[in-house]
Chain A
């Protein structure tokens, strides 16, 4: 048996790229939406729902565009509701359970800081429809970053208990941060086409931003060079994603012929 490497077409790579971005934001939005009705104060029920809506809304546009790029007459909901977990390509970071409010905030901050740099690039992508979407979402990301940064400061530099909880949250999630910068042949092809972003370009900027905020919050910055977990982009997930998808998809799959729009 010979292993043949299939060469990726631009169309296939673009579809995959859009779906990866969308999966990250849908799954994160799902986790954030779990807070609705259960937040520490009513203002945060509203704020986290808002961040969730921005992420899910942007994911919806990305899936819709991905379906268009694919050209097989699929609806965005087909991509969302009828793929199994190996076919989901989100980062492991976003599928982790919501944890306490500190964990949710730590994850949101790290992810929003990354998205902030990524989307500055994507907003200039060589495709009007895609760059337009990215530009619109970039405005939302700026709010997400500000909101989560403010909470990192409050909780990190609040009480002894909140400080410890934030330290634990960052220590716990750190091993999942390396995957933010994962790149493979999909990225390479799209970088050449002016559609994708070389994330290594802003890795130092991201580290600096994160370091500044954590230091201001009196949180000890974990080691950027520690062992980093990967796999999400290849469909190898944690055990949590299967449960999340079971919940998200069960109603839609139970009545495949029904119309819900």
Chain B
């Protein structure tokens, strides 16, 4: 079979909804796009631990401390699971992590914003995990088997995170005047960055068409953003939170909410590394990696010694 026939057969599989498994033939471009997307996703889970981890030691009740700690622990698990899924495409976790630490790989820009108050962490649970669910529910139907299976598993936990975040947002929105102010302020700061999580408009998104053709994605950035808005505006209303968008209005004709334009200058600026926390996030990950070097070396050396003495014994 020549390359073109293989391509054609691959596309037919995709079009008839057959998932692609690691051992199946796939176009090199499909492979490299998935490595990029999945490792970026894994990095986002791991870098995302930092803004939320920032509040574990200061949580205002023991119950909330345990909920937050297990949430951040879940995100580490998601990272691990996604790194393993990425490895099925023929790369290694070490390699993609090096790319991250060297600034060659991206992660979700949302984590380049600071968590300034406790409410920020709760709003992240509600909005950011909420946005992630919308994206990941789509990816759970992705054409690449290991990715879609990872998403099914991860989505269950993200739903739980969102529920817990929303619950605390509701508690604060009905709390003391200071709590109300704190939670509204957090929503004001996180709403637009969360809207940006879905990426550029469809006509500015060069990869979109290809990823849709390959069945990796089944919805465009703008479609996903619209479902996010429709869902979260209703949830905000239910607990008396205001969405910081004066143009937000329900459109009877479309059955969806119309909303204002994203500040794309800010979006690209953060993507390029100039968000409020880009440098610090990378510094924290690099420091953890460097400080852990001796531990990883020791574990490797110990395993080598153990293997050697077992060989001698047998």
Contact = CB atoms under 8 A, between A and B. Distances in A.
Interface of A: 30, 33-34, 36-46, 49-50, 52-53, 56-57, 59-60, 63, 76-77, 80-81, 100-102, 153-155, 157-159, 161-162, 165, 247-248, 250-252, 255, 257-261
Given A33-B69, A59-B62, 11 more contacts: A40-B293, A42-B83, A45-B49, A100-B291, A153-B302, A154-B299, A158-B299, A159-B301, A162-B297, A247-B58, A258-B178
Contact of B297 (A158, A251, A252): A158
Interface stretch (B72-80, B149-157, B208-216, B253-261): B72-80
Contacts of B49: 36-37, 45
A33 B76 CA distance: 13
B69 A159 contact: no
B104 interface: no
Given A42-B80, A261-B171, A162 B294 contact: yes
Given A45-B49, A46-B80, A162-B297, A39 B292 contact: yes
A257 B76 contact: no
B284 A38 contact: yes
B296 interface: yes
A56 B298 contact: no
B69 A251 contact: no
Contacts, number: 145
Given A42-B76, A42-B80, A157 B305 contact: yes
Contacts of B298: 154-155, 158-159, 161-162
B65 A155 contact: no
Contacts of A250: 58
Nearest to B300: A158
A36 B69 contact: yes
Given A153-B302, A247-B58, A258-B178, A39 B288 contact: yes
Interface string B47-77: 0011001001111111111100110110011
A10 B59 CA distance: 33
Interface of B: 46, 49-50, 53, 56-66, 69-70, 72-73, 76-77, 79-80, 83, 118, 168, 171, 175-176, 178-179, 284, 287-288, 291-299, 301-303, 305
Given A60-B62, A158-B298, A159-B301, A40 B288 contact: yes
A37 to B, nearest CB: 4
B76 A101 contact: no
Contact of B295 (A77, A155, A252, A260): A155
Contact of B69 (A49, A162, A260): A49
Given A36-B56, A155-B298, A250-B58, A56 B80 contact: no
A42 B76 CA distance: 7
Contacts of B62: 56, 59-60, 63, 76-77, 80
B185 to A, nearest CB: 14
A37 B299 contact: no
B66 A53 contact: yes
Contacts of B302: 153-155, 157-158
Contacts of A63: 62
B301 to A, nearest CB: 5
Given A49-B72, A255-B179, A159 B294 contact: yes
Nearest to B289: A40
Nearest to B50: A37
B176 A255 contact: yes
Nearest to A257: B176
Given A52-B69, A77-B62, A41 B178 contact: no
B164 to A, nearest CB: 12
Question: Which 6 pairs between the two chains have the least Cβ-Cβ distance?
Answer: A40-B292, A158-B298, A162-B298, A40-B295, A37-B49, A49-B73
A251 B58 contact: yes
Contacts of B83: 42
A43 B83 CA distance: 12
A255 B178 contact: yes
Nearest to B168: A260
Contact of A36 (B73, B80, B118): B73
Contacts of A162: 294-295, 297-298, 301
B47 to A, nearest CB: 9
A53 B79 CA distance: 19
B76 A46 contact: yes
Contacts of B288: 37-40
A135 to B, nearest CB: 20
B284 A56 contact: no
Contact of B60 (A44, A50, A251): A251
9 contacts: A36-B53, A38-B288, A41-B296, A50-B73, A53-B70, A53-B73, A60-B63, A158-B301, A258-B176
Given A63-B62, A153-B302, A251 B80 contact: no
A259 B57 CA distance: 18
Nearest to A153: B302
A56 B65 contact: yes
